[in-house]
Structure 1
């Protein structure tokens, strides 16, 4: 385990473990990022570019003190994707993001892990708000955002990805006493 990875908190949900990103995730990530399914998250990428993206995830933790976790099923240990908190230079606002491997979609994992990440952002990091940047054609990601209580807020012209939608998550005070997390 790298020195950075040792300082990344481990989160658990009912079915998932959110842990430090790892080079052990490379095979699954490379397969996903080589496919057309990666078009909404900066792909396709070559294997060496995918390796660099894992390094970038760890670097984000080192620079910002938060980032994306590698997500695996508790029961099987199978890697299912990356979910977490993102705010690189040039990003409009702090984000809750998710990217699931194709074989892991449709199981509610993105919602479950993103809820844990957002709770960490609000309860531990003290975030007052969070967004999710979503490609206008990514209906599956919009569905996850809606399940998290997020709403379309505005359109953003990303310098690399073009027009994206900014989905605003409920503020921490809107989630207490019967809010979405009360039912998680």
Structure 2
């Protein structure tokens, strides 16, 4: 499965590739990765990148590298995720250093959710958010999601489950109508 390329107002969402290793490794080596299984060594980051690329083949969907259209700079890894052990299909976002606070996570995640609903036919989606990750909780809330339940993963631990509105709740005035 080759990931389709999506476009938003300011971003291009494209398939992750080997050329993304440097920003990927920098993210996973930093404290920014503490909510998503890091910090990791370069070897661990390489394995994570390989998993992200392979997720597209195994599941038929995955996460994209989001790039600024104006500069081509990779801003993060954003999209659809459901590895083994996940409770449901998820919309997730990891922003690289220096790209937070610009609305990129919300912009890209809304595009990913539209793809999940309109192309893949999903009828629901969640976002898993660690308790202390207030930035990700704000993104989920901006997207119209709400704290639905809690989940404990064998490796990642305790997380809040944010439930996204169903596709029919987004029609005629849903949040997508304003983005």
Task: Please say whether Structure 1 and Structure 2 have the same fold, judged by a TM-score greater than 0.5.
Answer: yes
Look up the SS of the partner of 1:102 in the other structure. coil
Task: Give the TM-score normalised by the residue count of structure 2.
Answer: 0.98
Alpha-carbon deviation of 1:50? 0.8
1:69 aligns with 2:60: no
Look up the SS of the partner of 2:32 in the other structure. helix
Instruction: Quote the RMSD (CA, aligned, Å).
Output: 0.8
Q: In structure 1, list runs of 5 or more residues that go unmatched.
A: none
Q: In structure 2, list runs of 5 or more residues that go unmatched.
A: none
Number of residues of Structure 1 aligned to a counterpart in Structure 2: 179
- Residues of 1 paired with 2:108 and 2:78: CA distance? 6
Look up the SS of the partner of 1:155 in the other structure. strand
Alpha-carbon deviation of 1:88? 1.1
Task: Give the TM-score normalised by the residue count of structure 1.
Answer: 0.95
- Residues of 1 paired with 2:21 and 2:102: CA distance? 22
Alpha-carbon deviation of 1:161? 1.4
**1:19-30 paired onto structure 2 within 5 Å:** 19-30=14-25
- Residues of 1 paired with 2:156 and 2:25: CA distance? 20
Alpha-carbon deviation of 1:155? 0.7
1:43-102 Cα deviation digits (max 9, x unpaired): 001111111111101111001100000110001000111001011111100000000002
Alpha-carbon deviation of 1:162? 1.3
- Residues of 2 paired with 1:32 and 1:58: CA distance? 17
Partner of residue 41, structure 2: 46
**1:1-184 paired onto structure 2 within 5 Å:** 4=1, 7-184=2-179
Alpha-carbon deviation of 1:29? 1.4
Alpha-carbon deviation of 1:127? 0.2
